[in-house]
Amino acid sequence: MGIQNEDEQDLISLIVPVYNVEKYLDRCMESVLRQTYHNLEIILVDDGSTDSSPAKCEEYAKRDSRVKVIHKQNGGLSDARNAGLKIATGDYIGYVDSDDWIERDMYARMHQACTEHHAQIAVCRYFREYQDRTVSGGDGSVVPLSREELLEAYISGHDRYVIYNSVWSKLFWRDLVKGMTFPKGRNSEDIMYTTRAFCAVEQAVYLDQCFYHYVIDREGSIMNAAQGERMFRDEIPFWREHISCIRAMVSPQMADLAGYHFQRRLLFYYIDARNRKNKEMASGLVTELRKDKAEMDRIYGSGIVSRGDRMRRKLFFLSPTAYVMVVWLYDRIVVPLRH
């Protein structure tokens, strides 16, 4: 692995895609430039901005020699990140979105955790920044995780560990992700980058503390029209690819766990679509659920799924409407009685 010491001989490349964020770029860049870990290569990728963002990028390059700027035609977030990766020279790679910001000690703490635990990936919690409030959590602990422990938490949505597919909550050892790129022109692009990195890792470390400020989508619900199109075109195919990758690189058992949680995700999306009276999206999700029925029948019969989940899924295929009603009753009667 890279140089294992506690000073700053390791260079961290931070890739910051920039597209029409003149209102937010200063907040983001001030948080990056003030990092207590100084040995940074900060790569600003102007993705064809039409506001004052390109000029702001150049100002930062003049102000701080650690800043490099790329100006390119608009190609989307994945294309911008890939452009940054092409010129990155760091021992570690990090990502910051330009409408978000980070805590001053984020990269010092994540690099230290990698060094102390001989980890190739560090993962941290993050603040959820809404317009009217901030949501945070964590007890400050630092927990080493094996590949299997990391994947299980990532796949299952572990209660203790907040391990999301976003690349901005992670620090990657460069050699681990060498050759990995983001799919150009697609959304939900983090899913496969993170999945491949997690499948390849030997040792990871989780920091149960918020260091990254993630601004929640200002367009609102995941079920708006644009998000619905993105779900069917990009997100759902990527989750299927995620399962295949885990099967090929890790084990059939871990892939079955991923398949089970993918099925649960689709059922949750279906309930949400029905609650929002989005018939087109609900119909599309029924089609997606039927695509995997034979494979999911095998997984649901393999012993890793609770009896309640097996019965609810069976009911869904008998009558999606009855399934929605049962879930509604369960959430309003059974769950409250347990608390």
Rounded to whole angstroms, the Cα distance separating 44 from 281 reads: 37
> Residue 5 domain-assigned?
no
> Residue 104 domain-assigned?
yes
DSSP string, 243-262: HHHHHHHT-HHHHHHHHHHH
Last residue of a domain, one of 161, 187, 215: 215
The SS3 call for residue 276 is: coil
Decide: 104 and 36 in contact? Cβ < 8 Å: yes
pLDDT at position 53 is: 97
Overall number of domains in the chain = 2
pLDDT at position 329 is: 79
Report the chain (339 residues): mean pLDDT per 10 consecutive residues: 58 97 96 98 97 97 98 95 97 97 98 98 96 92 97 89 94 96 89 97 98 78 59 93 97 96 94 90 94 93 89 92 84 56
> Residue 4 domain-assigned?
no
Decide: 26 and 33 in contact? Cβ < 8 Å: no
> Same domain for 180 and 264?
no
pLDDT tens readout for residues 120-169: 999 999 999 998 899 999 999 999 999 999 999 999 987 789 999 999 99
DSSP string, 25-73: HHHHHHHHHT-S---EEEEEEEES--SSHHHHHHHHHHH-TTEEEEEE-
> Same domain for 175 and 239?
no
> Same domain for 184 and 82?
yes
| Dihedral sign (CA 221, 15, 35, 199) | positive
> Same domain for 172 and 289?
no
C-alpha of 190 from chain center? 5
> Residue 305 domain-assigned?
yes
pTM of the model: 0.91
Residue type, position 86, single letter? K
> Same domain for 172 and 81?
yes
For the domain that residue 16 is a member of, what is the CATH number?
A: 3.90.550.10
> Residue 280 domain-assigned?
yes
DSSP state of 232: I
> Same domain for 98 and 152?
yes
pLDDT at position 187 is: 84
> Residue 16 domain-assigned?
yes
CA end-to-end span of the chain, whole Å? 47
> Same domain for 181 and 297?
no
Rounded to whole angstroms, the Cα distance separating 301 from 312 reads: 13
DSSP string, 87-144: H---SEEEE--TT-EE-TTHHHHHHHHHHHHT-SEEEEEEEEE-SS-EE------EEE
Last residue of a domain, one of 215, 244, 267: 215
The residue range of the domain holding 249 is 225-337
In the block, residue with structure tokens 């400020």: 213
pLDDT at position 294 is: 93
Rounded to whole angstroms, the Cα distance separating 232 from 289 reads: 12
> Residue 251 domain-assigned?
yes
DSSP state of 262: H
> Residue 1 domain-assigned?
no
Strand pairing class (40-47; 12-18):
parallel
> Same domain for 106 and 188?
yes
> Same domain for 205 and 237?
no
Rounded to whole angstroms, the Cα distance separating 58 from 7 reads: 30
Q: Minimal CA–CA distance to 82: which of 98, 67, 66, 93?
A: 93
Last residue of a domain, one of 159, 192, 215: 215
